[in-house]
């Protein structure tokens, strides 16, 4: 069904937007995070997710938000990254947090190492004119960790409750 296909693609589209936004601007907007949260609740109601499961997803999200804001307080991640991680946790639920955290850590570590290595080399003048590339190369800038968070989310999304709820309808084509 078309509805199932659209529902299956909402989360990936939001993750692509979050990653690209963080890459290009080093920001993840509050509006995007609100859409991530609202998208989950709309689809959870659409698939009639049981209240206890909905509450479990919400509790997981709040716990991730608390941990992520501790990371933010230490300067390890940005505030947008913390809010995005909580939104992702809402979609994935507690059962997928371990694989998600492992992927996010590995991808984030790899991204950090690549950026640190890249920043040791001079940036060609032609690339300095491209604002987002120049920003990525700047040693005073952080790491657009939203890229790793979004990529990790995509690696486990197919195991999520929302995805699984829409998959049977999608396979009817």
- Predicted local distance difference test score (pLDDT) of residue 171: 46
Give tens-digit pLDDT for 20-65: 999 999 999 999 999 999 999 999 998 899 999 999 999 999 999 9
Q: Looking at the predicted structure, is the pLDDT value of residue 76 above 90?
A: no
Per the CB < 8 A criterion, the answer to whether 85 and 15 are in contact is no
- Predicted local distance difference test score (pLDDT) of residue 8: 86
What pLDDT band is residue 169 in, cutting at 50, 70 and 90? low
The two structure tokens encoding residue 148 = 């790793």
The two structure tokens encoding residue 142 = 């952080």
Residue among 78, 71, 92, 65 nearest 155 (CA): 92
- Predicted local distance difference test score (pLDDT) of residue 20: 97
Per the CB < 8 A criterion, the answer to whether 32 and 50 are in contact is no
Q: Looking at the predicted structure, is the pLDDT value of residue 173 above 70?
A: no
Residue among 38, 25, 35, 4 nearest 144 (CA): 25
**Token match 């589209």: residue?**
13
SS3 state of residue 143: coil
Give tens-digit pLDDT for 139-156: 999 999 999 999 999 999
The chain-wide mean pLDDT, for the chain, equals 92
- Upper half-sphere CA count for residue 77 (Cβ side, 13 Å): 25
Give tens-digit pLDDT for 83-111: 999 999 999 999 999 999 999 999 999 99
């Amino acid at each position: 069904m078309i509805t199932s296909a659209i529902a299956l693609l909402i989360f990936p589209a939001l993750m692509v937007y979050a990653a690209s936004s963080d890459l290009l601007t080093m920001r993840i907007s509050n509006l995007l995070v609100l859409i991530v949260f609202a998208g989950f609740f709309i689809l959870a109601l659409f698939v009639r997710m049981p209240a206890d499961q909905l509450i479990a997803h919400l509790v997981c999200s709040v716990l991730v938000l608390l941990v992520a804001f501790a990371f933010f307080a230490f300067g390890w991640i940005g505030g947008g990254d913390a809010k995005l991680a909580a939104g992702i946790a809402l979609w994935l639920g507690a059962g997928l947090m371990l694989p998600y955290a492992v992927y996010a850590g590995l991808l984030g570590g790899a991204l950090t190492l690549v950026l640190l290595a890249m920043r040791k080399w001079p940036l060609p003048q032609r690339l300095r004119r491209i604002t987002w590339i120049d920003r990525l190369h700047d040693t005073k800038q952080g790491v657009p960790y939203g890229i790793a968070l979004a990529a990790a989310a995509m690696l486990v999304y197919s195991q999520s409750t929302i995805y699984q709820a829409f998959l049977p309808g999608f396979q009817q084509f």
